[in-house]
Each structure stands twice: as C-alpha cells, then as structure tokens.
Amino acid sequence: MSTINNVLLKNTSVYLSGFNPLQYLKCIQDYKVNVLLVVPPIVVFLAKAPIVGKFDLSSVNQIWCGAAPLNSETINETLKRLPNCEGIFQGYGMTETSLAATKDINKDDVVRKPGSGGYVLPGIRAKVVNIETRERLGPYCEGEICFKGPVIMKGYANNEKATAEITDDEGYLNTGDIGYYDDDGCFFVVDRLKELIKYKGHQ
C-alpha cells in the first residue's frame, strides 16, 4: 500500500533488500530521505547506536512506525538525534485491514499520547469488545479491538471456516489484539489475544 501511495503522490522511494546499518544510514544521507517507514527496532537503533552520529540525517522530517508500540523515552532520544524531525508517528493495522486502520493525526498527538496507535481512519468503524461476552466496552476498558469498513477484508479466499472465525455477526474483523481507546477516541494496543510470536517487528 505504501508503494502504491508513493506512486500516486509522485514520491521517490528508496528500498533496501535487508537491514544493514551502514547501508541504511548512507542511503538516508545520500538520497536525502525525508520520511522513514520503520518498525520499532529501527527506531531504537536510531536512538542508541553511536554510528548514527557519523551521518548527516538532517533531511529526515518524519518517521512513521508500526508493528509494536514505542515508549516515550525511545521517541525522545531519537528526536534529539534528528533535530529536523517533527515527530515519530505511529499507526496500527494488519494485512486484513489493508495496512493501517488507525494512525496519529499530528505531532501534538505524539507528545500527548506516547505509545498510542492513533485515531481510526476515515471510513473505518471500530469497537472494543469483552473477550468472553463480546459486549461493547467504553473508554479505557481493555478488550479485543475490532474493525469494519470498505478497506477491511471481506474474508479469506476459499476458506469459509477461517473467515467465520475472524469476523463477527455485525461484519467486524476480530483482530486478536487487546487494547482500549481513550475519551478522545485514540487507540492503544496493550496485548495479544492470539498466540503469536513477533521477533524484531516480524510475526
């Protein structure tokens, strides 16, 4: 999806076959990359690795991060090393939601709500339900996060059983993630319902 968006917006994209610290930093410096799309371990690298200070990363003005929450300490340490970066924005989604279902709106959200997944995107409906009763829950109540909308997948091809297991009677997608939303409608993911191993941002 990010590839398609970049084509539509006529942006230039730089792709790497894998993560090599030297190559990664050199590409940012040489191509004067403005926006980084990363997973949390890359942000930790930018915040902690001594080698980062040897490269000119002044072109970076935004970082978009997904796959797992970031704590405020890591965010602040990274921004100190990237003086022209206005913020590290986070989002939440999965393959079945066509990439992101929620995201931060502006840099104030990043400061006020560290670790959040942001707000539900236009056209998508969301709810948090009790894991056992499936009753809808209000703000700050932890339960399973569910989404519904035109960009949410309708089902798995030729697999009615799997489709039935991941969708409810109202057509919402059961994400398998535990979280809550606050009074502003900002979502936070805190745990995983399904037994799934994530290693370095990959599952």
CA distances to 30, 49, 67, 188 from 54, rounded to whole Å, are 13, 10, 28, 35
State mean pLDDT over 120-132: 95
Q: Report pLDDT for 1.
A: 59
Q: Report pLDDT for 4.
A: 73
Q: Report pLDDT for 192.
A: 83
State mean pLDDT over 115-144: 95
Q: Report pLDDT for 113.
A: 81
CB 87 within 8 A of CB 114: no
* Beta strands per DSSP E along 22-166: 35-38, 62-65, 88-94, 99-103, 118-120, 125-129, 143-148
- pLDDT category at 2 given cuts 50, 70, 90 is low
Structural domains of the chain, with CATH? 1-86 (3.40.50.980)
Q: How far apart are CA 32 and CA 59, in angstroms?
A: 5
Of the candidates 86, 82, 83, which has an alpha carbon nearest to the alpha carbon of residue 47?
Answer: 82
CB 117 within 8 A of CB 189: yes
pLDDT digits (tens, 9 = 90+) for 4-63: 777 777 788 898 999 999 999 999 999 999 999 999 999 999 999 999 999 999 999 999
For residue 61, what are its two tokens? 């003005």
Q: How far apart are CA 58 and CA 62, in angstroms?
A: 11
Of the candidates 128, 135, 156, 143, which has an alpha carbon nearest to the alpha carbon of residue 193?
Answer: 143
Residues in CB range of 135: below 8 A, 6 or more apart: 129
Q: How far apart are CA 81 and CA 109, in angstroms?
A: 20
pLDDT digits (tens, 9 = 90+) for 77-118: 999 999 999 889 888 888 899 878 999 877 777 667 877 889
CB 123 within 8 A of CB 149: yes
Residues in CB range of 12: below 8 A, 6 or more apart: 6, 31
pLDDT digits (tens, 9 = 90+) for 144-200: 999 999 999 989 999 999 999 999 999 999 999 999 999 999 999 988 886 554 545
For the cut 60, the answer to whether the pLDDT of residue 201 exceeds it is no
Q: What angle do CA 107, 111, 113 make, to 5 degrees?
A: 105
CB 74 within 8 A of CB 90: no
